[in-house]
C-alpha cells in the first residue's frame, strides 16, 4: 500500500503546480523531478529537485541550475535535441516558450529558444520531442490554443531540427491544427516505424471560428531508416520507465529516456524508444541504462526493426553455495597453516 512521504523527502514546497515530470537531468541513474508552475511570474517559480539517492530525499536545485522559471509554465518536452548526451527541456508557456539547454553537472541551464528559432508569441500547452523525419535528430511538436473568443485561433507548431536550428513547418507538414490544443503524445499507430501524433483539443466557446476536436495526425513521410527499442524490466520497472536507451550508428550517438508520464501537458508518450537512422545500414551498439544504473549492451543490430530487450538479472548465489564456499575457504586456510607449521618444524630439526 501507499504512504505519503512528500514532506519526508523534502518536497514540502507549495505553488500553482501545472504538471510534473520525473527525469534524470544529471545523468546519475536516478529520477529527479521537474515541476511546472502556473503564475510563476508573480507567485512560486518552477522547481527542479535533484534526487539524493541512496538518501531518501530530494534537494531543491532550481536556482543553482537556473530552472526557477518565473513563467506561466504549462507543460514540458524532454529530449537530447543536440545529441550531446544531456537531456534538454522545452517548457511551454503563455507568450514565449523556453528551450532550456543542459550545460552539464553543476552548470545552469541556458534558454536557447530565441537563438534556435522556437520562441514565437503563443499560448502553448503540450510539446513533444521526436525524430519525425528519421534524420537522426529530434524535431519538436507544440500544441497551442486559448478559450478566449477574443483571441485569434492559434495553429500548432512543427519545428524541424536542421543541424540544431529549428524551422517552423506546421503548415507544410499539415500539423498546424487551429483547435484549442492541450495535451499531445507521439506513438507509432501503424507499427510502420515512424511516429504519429495525437493531440487533444478542448471544447471551444460557441463563437470559436473552427472545429476544436481531437486530432490523430498520421506520419506519411516515407524516408530514412529507423530502430524501435522496447524494454522489458525484470529487476527494473516492467516497461523500463526511468531507464534510458542510447544508440550508436557510425559517428552519431542518440539517447532517449523512457517516459513515465507527465511529459507534454498531462500526457504520456509511448514507452517504446524510437530512433531515426537516416541512411545508416546497421546499428553499431544499443546501450541500455536500466533504472538503478545497471548497463546492458547489444552490438551489431539490424535496422528497421522493433528490438525487444529483456533485462539480464544479477546472478544470485544460492545460500547453501555461499556456506559451502565459506567452509571450503576455512578448510584451505587450516590445511595450508598446518603445512607451513610442519615445514618450519622440519627445517628446525635439520
Q: How far apart are CA 141 and CA 314, in angstroms?
A: 39
Distance, CA of 304 to chain centre: 22
Q: Give the pLDDT score at 141.
A: 98
Checking if the pLDDT of 334 tops 80, the result is no
Checking if the pLDDT of 256 tops 60, the result is yes
Mean pLDDT, residues 335-341: 63
Q: How far apart are CA 198 and CA 325, in angstroms?
A: 58
Mean pLDDT, residues 259-272: 92
Encode pLDDT of 64-88 as tens digits: 999 999 999 999 999 999 999 999 9
Encode pLDDT of 217-239 as tens digits: 999 986 899 999 999 999 999 99
Considering only the C-alpha atoms of the chain, give the largest distance between any 2 of them, rounded to a whole number of Å: 114
Mean pLDDT, residues 103-110: 98
Is the Cβ–Cβ distance between 244 and 275 less than 8 Å?
A: no
Q: Give the pLDDT score at 280.
A: 97
For each of the domains in the chain, give its residue range(s) and CATH number, in order of start.
17-221 (2.130.10.130)
Report the 10 Å Cβ neighbour count for 162.
14
Encode pLDDT of 276-307 as tens digits: 999 999 999 999 999 988 999 999 999 999 99
Amino acid at each position: 500500500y501507499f504512504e505519503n512521504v512528500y514532506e519526508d523527502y523534502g518536497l514540502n514546497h507549495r505553488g500553482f503546480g501545472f504538471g510534473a515530470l520525473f527525469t534524470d537531468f544529471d545523468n546519475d541513474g536516478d529520477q529527479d523531478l521537474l515541476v511546472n508552475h502556473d503564475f510563476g511570474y508573480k507567485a512560486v517559480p518552477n522547481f527542479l529537485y535533484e534526487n539524493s539517492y541512496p538518501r531518501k530525499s530530494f534537494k531543491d536545485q532550481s536556482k543553482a541550475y537556473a530552472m526557477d522559471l518565473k513563467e506561466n509554465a504549462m507543460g514540458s518536452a524532454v529530449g537530447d535535441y543536440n545529441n550531446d548526451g544531456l537531456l534538454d527541456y522545452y517548457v511551454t508557456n503563455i507568450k514565449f516558450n523556453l528551450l532550456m539547454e543542459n550545460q552539464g553537472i553543476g552548470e545552469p541551464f541556458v534558454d536557447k529558444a530565441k537563438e534556435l528559432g522556437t520562441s514565437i508569441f503563443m499560448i502553448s500547452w503540450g510539446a513533444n520531442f521526436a525524430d519525425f523525419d528519421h534524420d537522426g535528430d529530434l524535431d519538436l511538436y507544440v500544441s497551442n490554443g486559448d478559450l478566449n473568443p477574443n483571441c485569434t485561433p492559434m495553429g500548432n507548431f512543427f519545428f524541424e531540427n536542421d543541424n540544431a536550428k529549428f524551422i517552423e513547418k506546421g503548415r507544410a507538414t499539415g500539423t498546424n491544427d487551429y483547435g484549442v490544443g492541450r495535451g499531445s503524445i507521439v506513438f507509432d499507430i501503424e507499427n510502420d516505424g515512424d511516429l504519429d501524433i495525437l493531440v487533444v483539443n478542448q471544447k471551444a466557446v460557441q463563437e470559436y471560428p473552427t472545429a476544436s476536436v481531437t486530432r490523430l495526425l498520421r506520419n506519411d513521410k516515407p524516408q530514412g531508416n529507423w530502430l524501435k527499442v522496447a524494454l522489458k524490466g525484470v529487476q527494473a520497472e516492467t516497461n523500463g520507465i526511468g531507464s534510458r536507451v542510447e544508440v550508436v550508428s557510425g559517428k552519431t550517438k542518440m539517447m532517449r529516456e523512457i517516459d513515465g508520464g507527465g511529459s507534454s501537458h498531462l500526457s504520456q508518450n509511448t514507452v517504446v524508444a524510437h530512433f531515426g537512422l537516416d541512411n545508416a545500414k546497421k546499428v553499431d551498439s544499443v546501450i541500455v541504462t536500466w533504472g538503478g544504473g545497471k548497463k546492458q549492451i547489444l552490438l551489431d543490430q539490424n535496422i528497421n526493426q522493433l528490438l525487444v530487450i529483456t533485462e539480464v538479472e544479477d546472478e544470485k548465489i544460492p545460500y547453501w553455495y555461499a556456506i559451502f564456499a565459506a567452509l571450503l575457504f576455512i578448510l584451505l586456510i587450516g590445511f595450508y597453516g598446518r603445512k607451513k607449521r610442519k615445514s618450519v618444524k622440519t627445517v628446525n630439526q635439520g
